[in-house]
Structure 1
């Protein structure tokens, strides 16, 4: 099989999103391989995880230097996610390699993608509420040091459980190391800033995807030619995305990513093109309407003396 430069370009674009938001690796890369390049679901999962084992350290190294990682959370997450990820591979292996298994994995990917899209919506709502909270602490994106984030009290048991569930899903579908776990992190630790969430999630994903990748190399359907194309695009892409993450319009990226996740999920369920297109049009229209309402609420209002002051409601993300 010749080297596929189109696949490399696609992985470059996806990796930029990963570096910017900490999301979209397996949630975008694996469906891209299945939908646009005809790769079987199990091969796509295996090859994507091996590529992610190289890609994730690049992005996490950038965030580590910027001081946007909480090593305490990383340690507790990995305590659950690493063994669960390897176990997820064994679960997929135990199911076999027939067409029925490939279809089951594809449907599992669809469910995981829908959960990830819903998680993005939850993250946006929580971020909007946090903008309305009294200001305090370091500004969004500011470094906090690698040891921990000031004011964050670690909750070991729920953090390990998040790692367990996320690791199992990643091992089976390759989806979740960013899109699912980062949303759970925000729910558990709403005081974390956006870049602290991304940096912490990227670093915890390194041993997670290594464990899953090792399992897929040993027991999955790993294809070197697919992985090579992914690596050529994803390594520079995730580095670029991580470098510019502090200045990226995170809210816009999350909205677009949610639409892509829904589209990918519907494709995993073999939804015909016409219903798929109308569904996305409806979701896009609803997104624009919600954004307009939010802008209207956050627009400045006239003070008694004619001076315009910000409205009480903060802008959402």
Structure 2
């Protein structure tokens, strides 16, 4: 089984490296559907996995100057308190309870569907915003919308481990359309590090992290991400994202039914 986990980590890392889509939307459903891991343990283990892999990505983006730290601070103002509250809610209702596990399963499905929307319609949403400068927020309204977006993402990530990747990047593009693609990626990864770390600590406190599973996934994913990033430019992005969106849509339907 360890070899299977390593290969799964490699496959997810390969796709993440080629598409830039967060591993949570791939890894958590994979653990739940293919390996029968309980939803709460799948979420907790994936959050610990994400906090480690995203930390490495933040170091790289920081060295390249592609992190907008004022946006990171705004997102964290909403995301970190939301993550703490979501953790307390899970503790109150019991994350390992069968009924709560079903709620988490549905939360994963909804988050996956939101990721599909983000993948398919991100460019159209950006074009809609750019078509009319009056639609763009500024000043306090922009700051408040960013904090609110962080709160939504913090709740989604803590409950389902999904949201900090494609959904977070799409919200950044909508709120800050002048950011370069590298700045969107760097800022999205940077704010996700404290968020996934706090959420992972919360799940560790709740006893919903499988440390051996985490280690085997890391062994496979780290070389997978490296190889995927290397070959990213040689694969047609539109085709790859379309296939990924279709796969995630099927995963969401399977989780629901």
TM range (shorter): 0.7 to 0.9
SS in 2 for 1:252: helix
CA distance in 2, matches of 1:230, 1:189: 34
Aligned with residue 241 of structure 2, among 231, 254, 260: 254
CA distance in 1, matches of 2:58, 2:18: 11
Note the residue ranges of structure 2 that are not aligned, 5 or more in a row. none
CA distance in 2, matches of 1:132, 1:8: 45
Which range moves more in the overlay, 239-248 or 221-230? 239-248
Q: Which residue of 2 aligns with 1:146?
A: none
SS in 2 for 1:180: helix
Q: Which residue of 2 aligns with 1:212?
A: 199
Q: Which residue of 1 aligns with 2:56?
A: 58
CA distance in 2, matches of 1:30, 1:88: 18
Q: Which residue of 2 aligns with 1:198?
A: 185
Question: Per-residue deviation at 1:244?
Answer: 6.3
Q: Check the 8 A contact 1:62/1:239 in 2, yes or no.
A: no
Q: What are the residue-to-residue correspondences of 1:112-261 with 2, within 5 Å? A: 112-126=111-125, 155-241=142-228, 249-261=236-248
Give the number of equivalent residue pairs.
250
Give yes or no for the alignment of 1:18 onto 2:5. Answer: no
SS in 1 for 2:197: helix
Q: Check the 8 A contact 2:129/2:174 in 1, yes or no.
A: no
Question: Per-residue deviation at 1:32?
Answer: 0.6
Q: Check the 8 A contact 1:17/1:24 in 2, yes or no.
A: no
Q: Which residue of 2 aligns with 1:67?
A: 65
Task: Write 1 or 2 for the structure with the bigger share of helix.
Answer: 2
Aligned with residue 44 of structure 2, among 24, 43, 46: 46
SS in 2 for 1:67: coil
Provide Cα deviations, 1:255-297, integer angstroms capped at 9, x if missing partner.
2221122121111113xxxxxxxxxxxxxxxxxxxxxxxxxxx
TM-score by length of 2: 0.86
Flag the 1:162–1:131 CA change in 2: closer, same or farther, 3 A: closer
Q: Which residue of 1 aligns with 2:83?
A: 85
Note the residue ranges of structure 1 that are not aligned, 5 or more in a row. 134-151, 271-317
Give yes or no for the alignment of 1:269 onto 2:243. Answer: no
CA distance in 2, matches of 1:195, 1:260: 26
Q: Which has the larger radius of gyration?
A: 1
SS in 2 for 1:37: coil
Provide Cα deviations, 1:1-29, integer angstroms capped at 9, x if missing partner.
xx612212222222233345442321111
Q: Which residue of 2 aligns with 1:107?
A: 106
TM-score by length of 1: 0.71
